[in-house]
Chain A
Amino acid sequence: MIVYSLPVFILQLLSISGSLFITLEIRPTFKKIIVQFVLVIIPAIYLYKYWSSPFGILYLLLSSAILFYRFTRNVRAILDVTVLGIAAIVALNLAEISLFSFFIKINPSSILVSTVIFLLFFAIFICLYKLFIEKVWKPIFITIVSRLILIIISIVTVGVLYINLIISVSKNLYSVALFNLIIEASYFGLMMILSMILIRTVKKENRLRQKEIEHQQLLDYMESLERINDDMQKFRHDYQNILLTMQGYINHNDLPGLQTYFNERIVKVEEQTLRSNYLYNQLDKLELIELKGLIATKILIADEYNIEMNIEVPELIQKIEIDVIDLTRVIGILLDNAIEASIEVEHPKLNLALIKKSDHSVLIILENLVRKELLDINRVFERNYSTKSNHRGTGLATVREILSDYPNVTMNTRIERSFFIHELSIYPLEYVHSSVQNDQYLIMTDFKKRDRGGVFS
């Protein structure tokens, strides 16, 4: 019969320590491995052998969690340690069971086979866990509370499993191994189901929140359309008065008067209406309702400050490969900044373009006129940097933070010809990998190689 002996413990310890690098996606540098050996592996073995086995196990899990938290600064390290702990126990029990079923006597070959079985099951668990991380943990926005609950669940599970193991070993109840496995499996299953339910609720919650935001944006958009409608109504209301006034000028044969009246009053008002109509027409081609609502609201605000705003959406945009909440946050911050900066400029100009390219990537350009001396381009990404004193900062740090989660988004920020320019490129996900391979960003030496058909002599 298998004993939870030192070699078994070492096997478990090494598999857990090694696979932490895999699940957390840290490159195992020489330094990190040494640190791990000195701080985790050697003390754990020492404690296990000369102190007591529970302490060894406890130390292993705790120190690994702390060490890997230091490496990654991510709470997930704790979850990974506990999940791997669970995996090690369950795999060990499975190996034990299969050992009992196939071998009568313990000899080197049976130990080898059970070791292989242990490693096999352990590897399967790691694969499943990685799948969980890729498909559930990373893509779904799980609130901090739910994350904590998941971590607590796994800590409790690992605790229960190891206490169970230690008790059965210390009391020599080896015959309960099978019984143990049944309990563990059902407990594990229960936890899985509970976690699934939790994740489903979180998903639902997210959807609801998104709906709410969408709804709010739609309301904003409708409100701005209503405002335009009001303007039109007002104009129509004035229509009769305008005609009467014009008739007055005509009756008096006052052609110069009519001319000034027409240019000053009618053309100007009409121009304004046409202009805002044009802007909203451009927005028609943007089919992301949240973004449309946001931009419509900002048009109104820019209008209030008399900022000359121009919007270009030359082609229908139905999809942008970035979470729409993140996108509206980013564009919102950038537009707010631009409007705020425009107030301080004499003849403010604000241009926004959303351009779809033939490769289905979307380019968003936002530029506004700035007073160059007021802006330090080297500091704009600092959290507390602002062009005004007693102000909370430009929020560009937040923009960067949001976008740092997206491998398919790049952003340029610069000053050119008195314009403060942001260029956001959002690529389709599959495009990113190919573009790196093709090195689409050429340095001049590559550029030269292109054939100019012998134009130069």
Chain B
Amino acid sequence: MNVVICEDEVEQREFLQKTISEYATFHEPSIKIALSTSDPNRVLAYLKDQRADCYFLDIELGSAITGMELARIIREHDPLAQIIFISMHADRLKLTFKYKLAALDFIVKSAGYDQLTIEIEEALKEAFNIYRKIGNQSEVSYIQIKIGERIKNVRYDDIYYFETSTQEHKLILHEVSGVYEFYGRLKTYEEIDRRFYRCHKSFLINLDYVREIDTKERKLTLANDHICLISSRKVKELQKKLSI
């Protein structure tokens, strides 16, 4: 995993470099610092023909380009890069960084070196986990929902059911910790996993969560007490699928 650092204060930059390379030698030798600079233009030059996987950016760069602007350009080049911001100020624009620039983390400098080391290491650890996940292509078991620039992974295991909204082309996804709305068609999701079953034109359910079915009323109750309809043609097939 290649790391790029852009920080204009020399002392801070050296500290970052030291912390990251120490973490690399002890935990993940594949982490390498590809570039460490005070000048955002050098990062831009680097971006022209190369990619890094993780960027540590100071928000208040003493330059025409701010860290935010730099992050935006990095995002344009590489939507999957992990960006970690470093700032003097407390978490004032936390949500903006998360949703607009899909920042992984936000580290506040004034916290003191001990605290800083912990935070940098944690951010690095998470960045590496995500990096590894992207590489591990065989495990496809979640749906990605884009909220702003942020990507939320919803695991198949957590999904109760999909339903169509009253509005055309809008779907509602019910999962263990929440409800998501997005544009799409149920058909797109029918085939993604064997446990999903289209029991009605408006419902795509997770068979693992079916608690009971009422064949007379053609309704089924899921583990979260929500009720879905079953179309008459599907009753038999559904019963068969559930009895296995």
Q: How far is the CA of A378 from the CA of B51 in the complex (A)?
A: 42
Residues of B within 8 A of A (CB): 51, 53, 79-80, 91-96, 99-100, 134-135, 137, 140-149, 152, 165-170, 174-184, 188-189, 192, 224-226
- In the bound assembly, the distance between CA atoms of A225 and B63 in angstroms comes to 35
CB of A404 within 8 A of CB of B166, answer: yes
Residues on A with beta carbons closer than 8 Å to the beta carbon of B167: 404, 406-407
A452 and B225 within 8 A (CB): no
Q: A357-B100, A378-B226 are in contact. Are A412 and B181 (CB under 8 A)?
A: yes
| Inter-subunit contact A412/B140 (CB<8 Å) | no
Does the CB pair B100–A310 fall under 8 Å? no
Given A314-B100, A404-B165, A425-B147; A351-B177 close (CB under 8 Å) = no
Nearest A residue to B135 via CB reads A456
| B contact residues around A314 at 8 Å (CB) | 93, 96, 100
The reply to whether A452 and B95 form a contact with Cβ atoms under 8 Å apart is: no
Please judge, given known A-B contacts A312-B95, A436-B169, whether A412 and B180 are in contact too, CB under 8 Å. Answer: yes
Taking a contact as CB atoms under 8 Å apart, the answer to whether B168 and A278 are in contact is no
Tell me whether A444 is interfacial, beta carbon within 8 Å. yes
Q: Which residue of B lies closest to A414 (CB)?
A: B178
Residues on the B chain within 8 Å of A439, using CB: 184, 188
Q: Is the CB of A443 within 8 A of B182?
A: no
A452 to B77, CA, bound (A): 11
Determine the distance from Cα of A406 to Cα of B183 in the docked complex, in whole angstroms: 13
- Contacting residues, chain B, for A289 (C-beta < 8 A): none
Please tell me the size bucket of the interface on A.
35 or more
Chain A residues with CB under 8 A of B225: 378-379
Q: How far is A379 from B142 in the complex, measured between Cα atoms in Å?
A: 24
Are A443 and B147 within 8 A (Cβ)? no
Chain B residues, CB < 8 A from A421: 178
CA distance A442 to B152 in the complex (A): 11
Output the least CB separation between A353 and chain B (Å): 4
A-B contact pairs, 5 of them (CB 8 A): A314-B100, A353-B95, A414-B177, A414-B178, A447-B144
Q: Which chain A residues lie closer than 8 Å to B152 at the CB level?
A: 412
- A428-457 interface bits toward B, Cβ cutoff 8 Å, 1 = contact, 0 = none: 000010011001111111011010110110
Q: Is A423 positioned at the interface, with any CB of B under 8 Å from its CB?
A: yes
| CB-CB under 8 A for A453 and B95, given A355-B100, A448-B140 | no
Query: Could you tell me the distance between the alpha carbons of A278 and B144 in the complex, rounded to whole angstroms?
Result: 35
Prevailing SS type, chain A contact patch:
mixed
New A-B pairs, 12, CB < 8 Å, besides A412-B145, A423-B147, A448-B137: A351-B94, A355-B96, A357-B149, A363-B100, A410-B181, A411-B181, A414-B177, A414-B178, A439-B184, A444-B140, A444-B143, A452-B134
Residues A436 and B183 in contact, CB atoms below 8 Å apart: yes
Is A450 a contact partner of B95 (Cβ separation < 8 A)?
no
CB within 8 Å of B: which residues of A? 278, 310, 312, 314, 351, 353, 355, 357, 363, 365, 367, 377-379, 381, 404, 406-407, 410-416, 421, 423, 425, 432, 435-436, 439-445, 447-448, 450, 452-453, 455-456
A365 touches B92 (CB 8 A): no
Cross-chain contact A436 with B178 (CB below 8 angstroms): no
Residue of A nearest to B137 (CB): A448
Question: Judging by beta carbons under 8 Å apart, are B183 and A378 in contact?
Answer: no
Given A444-B142, A453-B51, A416:B94 Cβ within 8 A? no
**B226: shortest Cβ distance to chain A, in Å?**
7
Give every chain B residue within 8 A of A312 (Cβ-Cβ): 92-96
Say whether B188 contacts A410, CB under 8 Å.
Answer: no
Given contacts A410-B182, A439-B188, A447-B144, contact A353 B51 (CB under 8 A): no
User: What A residues does B168 contact at CB under 8 A?
Assistant: 407
Interface hub of B95, B147, B152 (most chain A Cβ within 10 A): B95
In the complex the two chains form, is A416's CB within 8 Å of B92's CB?
A: no
Instruction: Report the separation of the CA atoms of residues A412 and B178 in the bound assembly, to the nearest whole angstrom.
Output: 7
Of A355, A413, A445, which one neighbours B179 at CB under 8 angstroms? A413
Q: Which residue of B lies closest to A403 (CB)?
A: B181
A406–B166 alpha-carbon span in the complex (Å): 10
A210 CA / B214 CA spacing, docked (Å): 48
Alpha-carbon gap, A455 to B177, bound state (A): 34
A11 CB to nearest B CB, Å = 33
Given A312-B95, A436-B183, decide whether A378 and B224 contact each other with a Cβ distance below 8 A.
Answer: yes
B148: which A residues are within 8 A, CB to CB?
A: 355, 357, 363, 423, 425
Q: With A312-B93, A355-B96 in contact, is A443–B181 under 8 Å at CB? A: no
- B87 to chain A: closest CB distance in Å? 14
What's the nearest-Cβ distance from chain A to residue B78, in Å? 9
**Looking at the complex, which one of B100, B142, B177, B188 makes contact with A415 (CB distance below 8 Å)?**
B177
Query: Which residues does chain A contribute within 8 Å of B147, judged by CB atoms?
Result: 363, 412, 423, 425
| B79: chain A residues within 8 A (beta carbon) | 450
B146 contact set on A, CB distance < 8 A: 440-442
The distance in angstroms between the C-alpha atoms of A339 and B181, with both chains bound, is 24
A440 & B183 in contact (Cβ 8 Å cutoff): yes
